[in-house]
Amino acid sequence: MKMKRIKNYKCDRCNKELSVDESYGIFIKMREEKYPLKRWDFCEKCYSAMVKGVEKGRGVSKWI
């Protein structure tokens, strides 16, 4: 019998427990880095709040 790997994540903003299907991973690539690295995991609600903030020009760093 083949077992599925289930990895749980935590929202980095509200600390809600998330499954793989519920998490939104944010990957950032800096100039010095060869590949993008995962920086944050968000739930749907916090991801939507981040998108709204970026669209309004508030930036991400003010609420993380």
**pLDDT value of position 59:** 57
Predicted local distance difference test score (pLDDT) of residue 6: 64
Q: Would 34 be classed as within a structural domain? A: no
Residue 64 lies in a domain: no
State the residue range of the domain holding 18.
9-29+41-55
Instruction: Indicate the pLDDT class of residue 47, thresholds 50, 70 and 90.
Output: very high
Task: Report yes or no on 25 lying in a domain.
Answer: yes
Higher pLDDT, 56 or 1: 56
Alpha-carbon span 20 to 6, nearest angstrom: 7
19 part of a folded domain: yes
Residues 47-57, mean pLDDT to the nearest whole number? 87
pLDDT in tens, 4-38: 556 788 999 999 998 888 888 889 888 888 999 88
